[in-house]
Chain A
């Protein structure tokens, strides 16, 4: 049975799909997804009009974050899971320096081309996203995406087996697209302080939902667990338990990403595995309707080099503990809401025992993680994909007495 993609409503956004003049770097695993209905770049409608792209196709989208949109009616199936298209870098919703939405009148104030400013004055007064030529964070256009970031995300996706890297589920980038130069030149006429002169790119990626763990969604598991339950149809113990098991399995994979991807690099005589760079589970991961956590912001998933087994062990431990709080928060939110759903007086020891039982089951098929339940504590024995004999570590998941 197909797990249908689900999304919570958000602000609508009018986009314009163009194909002429767009440069595409595709992910070979996803050629089948690069269909006539999806192929192209997606501009904010206002930018399309200013660029006189009358050849574009109007597309109704939903906002997601400040510079991304969802296209819920354009879907792709991977095995039995449905994903919808998400475009990263298709326009910012908010002014970079004022907490108001962008609009033609506000864009006029940062427009450095008098002819464009004149055309903006004829636009109807309404909020509109826009790709602005302000150099943001030093390397990206505000509301758009930089080439190296888009290609890093594509690279991370290329490492995957479709939608997962050794059990770590991702929102795969099916292509990075570069906007035509005339559009880049037009966007670069808009900036507050520092003009961005590079190329303008977008990531086209697949997402199973827009429900994040804690931040950046209208509904998150951490804050609105009741609504998440309604949205995902979690109505009884059996469905909740199956959801929790998938959530745990995928979350454990996320906090042990380095261990499951580490390899010995013959050329440089060192170990390399995947790690997170300025990306976090609470804002950069979404939860599929079946509970599987998918990491969405792949531009921050990069290789980390370790000189030897000792450094491999250290990185496994660091990555685990850096992300364990957010992982546990998700699991706790899920477990607490399950008790609320069932109308049972919350019992921490009961809930703890239940989640540990589910954790044990969830990790049973995992070749890199084994759950050890001792009398005093529950630990995870993490056996990396390389240097197994020297770099296996045992890390604490829960101290029994601390909660009970």
Chain B
């Protein structure tokens, strides 16, 4: 059965009518656990049982009213305690409640049964509902695929996300210890006007979880990852990387397919090119990390390319220049695309502040044509704005190669995976961590789905992912929003805080 047919049949069952599946189609969906079969005899039994529900519910209500009469706004003054009759009624009520719960469950099943055309019935399962919901987003991409491929792709994504979260859960305590040391160095006690508790404690823990998630993406054992992390971060620190950026740079280098040792050498080489081209010798770490997967052959033209982009777009941050330079487009195309992206951000209401600029940069280097910038960014910003108050977050999702509805759905899947894994301290950080999983959905998607086509431009290796650029964008423009996050909804007004 192909995907469109499966969608049609699941929708029919969900709507309670119009199911036209053949015997084989029904069997296939039952085997995939999307439908549950119910023979006609079972339907009749359920119908008979469910018909008792209203009588049992009426008896429950009657018993409760009778029992409630024994207690009320008045406290009996003469007899403290309850008469024996009360206990008898109470026992009957408990029994009736149990029966009602079972009948209620059966009535719900009965309500969902749909004739399958052979005299028997089918019921959509919770998994069937989930698949149907997913199909409402992904069906166009899978229009010629088999249902089994789609179900397999969903399972693949779930398993990949779960595996990363499991590895990250093992790694995180070690990373928290590292990050706490960084935070202490970054926010010495007594300094600054912000709450040191919030910044160092929750902020640091969330940062550590983000690092752990990034480290855990490659399929390596957590002990190997941690050993590599300690060793690489020590070397990164010796290269003059500012303390707060050491773990971020380390995580990016370790995600490079070339491995951290080779990437470290490239990182050093790129650092000097970046410093010369940008003239900012103290801000080379994040841009060099972004560019560190470029081969040595790029050393000849990278400096020139950076200088041309800087001349064309003055006053950007060093990371933003690196993101633009890492794109697969010719310089003149990069400049045009950035202008269009900036215009997009302006049209949806963002000022050219750092978050908006980062979002524009990500859109500019995305694989999408400029006429898609506005609909993509508008859709994702509309959904994400209430969750993460930085346009850079929507820019990250808008830059990935999926359709905007798919990107949002993938992000929701990541939110669910983080929630189910318990890999968070406070609910507000779940979306931030899910965004890290969504920086580059490619590795989490089954090979049945194309990862997107990049436009050939200059002599660069095809960027397998935007992960390094997006992770730096996350670190500089999205994560700080979490640190200043305020845990309050403005409408709850009548409390007397702290003195209950």
Q: Say whether B137 faces chain A, with CB atoms less than 8 Å apart.
A: yes
What A residues does B422 contact at CB under 8 A? 230
When the two chains form their complex, are residues A345 and B419 in contact, meaning their CB atoms are under 8 A apart?
Answer: no
CB closest chain-A residue, reference B54? A364
- Residue among A155, A262, A343, A366 making CB contact with B75, cutoff 8 Å: A155
What B residues does A385 contact at CB under 8 A? 65, 68-69, 72
When the two chains form their complex, are residues B71 and A166 in contact, meaning their CB atoms are under 8 A apart?
Answer: yes
Most buried by B among A159, A215, A226, A344: A226
- Residue among B65, B104, B427, B496 making CB contact with A227, cutoff 8 Å: B427
- Residue among A94, A167, A261 making CB contact with B64, cutoff 8 Å: A167
B33 CB to closest chain A CB, in angstroms?
A: 14
Q: Say whether B495 faces chain A, with CB atoms less than 8 Å apart.
A: yes
When the two chains form their complex, are residues B413 and A343 in contact, meaning their CB atoms are under 8 A apart?
Answer: yes
Most buried by B among A167, A230, A280, A364: A364
What B residues does A329 contact at CB under 8 A? 492
Stretch of B55-63, B203-211, B265-273, B468-476 with 4 or more beta carbons under 8 angstroms from chain A? B55-63
Q: State A117–B397 Cα separation when bound (angstroms).
A: 62
A224 CB to closest chain B CB, in angstroms?
A: 5
Within 306-341 of A, Cβ neighbours of B (below 8 Å) are at: 325-326, 329, 337, 340-341
Q: Say whether A260 faces chain B, with CB atoms less than 8 Å apart.
A: yes
When the two chains form their complex, are residues A345 and B489 in contact, meaning their CB atoms are under 8 A apart?
Answer: no
When the two chains form their complex, are residues A227 and B426 in contact, meaning their CB atoms are under 8 A apart?
Answer: yes
What A residues does B417 contact at CB under 8 A? 343
Write out, one digit per residue, whether chain B residues 471-487 have a CB within 8 A of any chain A CB (1) or not (0): 00000000000000001
Q: Say whether A55 faces chain B, with CB atoms less than 8 Å apart.
A: no
When the two chains form their complex, are residues A226 and B412 in contact, meaning their CB atoms are under 8 A apart?
Answer: no
- Residue among A29, A214, A263, A343 making CB contact with B492, cutoff 8 Å: A214
When the two chains form their complex, are residues B416 and A341 in contact, meaning their CB atoms are under 8 A apart?
Answer: yes
When the two chains form their complex, are residues B492 and A282 in contact, meaning their CB atoms are under 8 A apart?
Answer: yes
When the two chains form their complex, are residues B81 and A160 in contact, meaning their CB atoms are under 8 A apart?
Answer: no
Within 410-425 of B, Cβ neighbours of A (below 8 Å) are at: 412-417, 419-420, 422, 424-425
Q: Say whether A161 faces chain B, with CB atoms less than 8 Å apart.
A: yes
CB closest chain-A residue, reference B134? A344
Within 387-421 of B, Cβ neighbours of A (below 8 Å) are at: 408-409, 412-417, 419-420
CB closest chain-A residue, reference B154? A343
When the two chains form their complex, are residues B500 and A67 in contact, meaning their CB atoms are under 8 A apart?
Answer: yes
User: What are 29 A-to-B residue pairs whose CB atoms are below 8 Å?
Assistant: A29-B81, A67-B500, A68-B500, A159-B71, A159-B72, A161-B68, A165-B68, A165-B71, A166-B71, A167-B64, A215-B492, A215-B495, A223-B489, A224-B426, A224-B427, A224-B428, A272-B73, A274-B73, A283-B495, A337-B427, A341-B416, A343-B412, A345-B412, A361-B104, A361-B108, A364-B57, A364-B100, A365-B61, A365-B97
Which A residues fall within an 8 A CB radius of B?
Answer: 28-29, 65-68, 94, 155, 158-161, 165-167, 214-216, 222-227, 229-230, 235-238, 260-263, 265, 272-274, 280, 282-284, 297, 303, 325-326, 329, 337, 340-347, 361, 364-367, 385
- Residue among A158, A224, A235, A326 making CB contact with B420, cutoff 8 Å: A235
Tell me the dominant secondary structure on chain B's binding face.
helix
Write out, one digit per residue, whether chain B residues 128-139 have a CB within 8 A of any chain A CB (1) or not (0): 001001100100
Q: Say whether B491 faces chain A, with CB atoms less than 8 Å apart.
A: yes
When the two chains form their complex, are residues A272 and B74 in contact, meaning their CB atoms are under 8 A apart?
Answer: yes
Q: State A156–B260 Cα separation when bound (angstroms).
A: 67
Which B residues fall within an 8 A CB radius of A?
Answer: 57, 60-62, 64-65, 67-75, 80-82, 86, 90, 97, 100, 104, 108, 126, 130, 133-134, 137, 408-409, 412-417, 419-420, 422, 424-428, 430, 487, 489, 491-492, 494-500
When the two chains form their complex, are residues B419 and A166 in contact, meaning their CB atoms are under 8 A apart?
Answer: no
A210 CB to closest chain B CB, in angstroms?
A: 12
What A residues does B427 contact at CB under 8 A? 223-227, 337
What A residues does B67 contact at CB under 8 A? 161
When the two chains form their complex, are residues A263 and B64 in contact, meaning their CB atoms are under 8 A apart?
Answer: no
Q: State A263–B76 Cα separation when bound (angstroms).
A: 13
B367 CB to closest chain A CB, in angstroms?
A: 23
- Residue among A167, A226, A344, A346 making CB contact with B430, cutoff 8 Å: A226
A93 CB to closest chain B CB, in angstroms?
A: 8
A338 CB to closest chain B CB, in angstroms?
A: 10
B57 CB to closest chain A CB, in angstroms?
A: 5
When the two chains form their complex, are residues B80 and A28 in contact, meaning their CB atoms are under 8 A apart?
Answer: yes
What A residues does B86 contact at CB under 8 A? 161
CB-based closest 4 A-B pairs? A343-B416, A226-B427, A367-B61, A65-B500
Most buried by B among A161, A225, A236, A274: A161
Q: State A36–B380 Cα separation when bound (angstroms).
A: 61
Q: State A56–B75 Cα separation when bound (angstroms).
A: 35
A383 CB to closest chain B CB, in angstroms?
A: 10
Q: State A67–B65 Cα separation when bound (angstroms).
A: 37
Further pairs besides A159-B75, A346-B412: 17, Cβ < 8 Å: A65-B498, A161-B67, A161-B90, A166-B72, A215-B492, A216-B497, A223-B427, A238-B126, A272-B74, A274-B73, A337-B419, A341-B416, A342-B130, A343-B420, A364-B100, A365-B61, A366-B64
CB closest chain-A residue, reference B61? A367
CB closest chain-B residue, reference A68? B500
A30 CB to closest chain B CB, in angstroms?
A: 11
Q: State A237–B125 Cα separation when bound (angstroms).
A: 11
Assuming the contacts A237-B126, A365-B100, asked whether A340 and B415 have C-beta atoms less than 8 A apart, the reply is yes
When the two chains form their complex, are residues B74 and A158 in contact, meaning their CB atoms are under 8 A apart?
Answer: no
What B residues does A265 contact at CB under 8 A? 74
What B residues does A235 contact at CB under 8 A? 420
- Residue among A238, A261, A342 making CB contact with B73, cutoff 8 Å: A261
When the two chains form their complex, are residues B126 and A325 in contact, meaning their CB atoms are under 8 A apart?
Answer: no
B135 CB to closest chain A CB, in angstroms?
A: 12
When the two chains form their complex, are residues B489 and A342 in contact, meaning their CB atoms are under 8 A apart?
Answer: no
When the two chains form their complex, are residues B61 and A366 in contact, meaning their CB atoms are under 8 A apart?
Answer: yes
When the two chains form their complex, are residues A263 and B73 in contact, meaning their CB atoms are under 8 A apart?
Answer: yes
Q: State A29–B413 Cα separation when bound (angstroms).
A: 49
When the two chains form their complex, are residues A325 and B491 in contact, meaning their CB atoms are under 8 A apart?
Answer: yes
What B residues does A365 contact at CB under 8 A? 57, 60-61, 64, 97, 100
B410 CB to closest chain A CB, in angstroms?
A: 9
When the two chains form their complex, are residues B416 and A166 in contact, meaning their CB atoms are under 8 A apart?
Answer: no
When the two chains form their complex, are residues B130 and A344 in contact, meaning their CB atoms are under 8 A apart?
Answer: yes
What B residues does A230 contact at CB under 8 A? 422
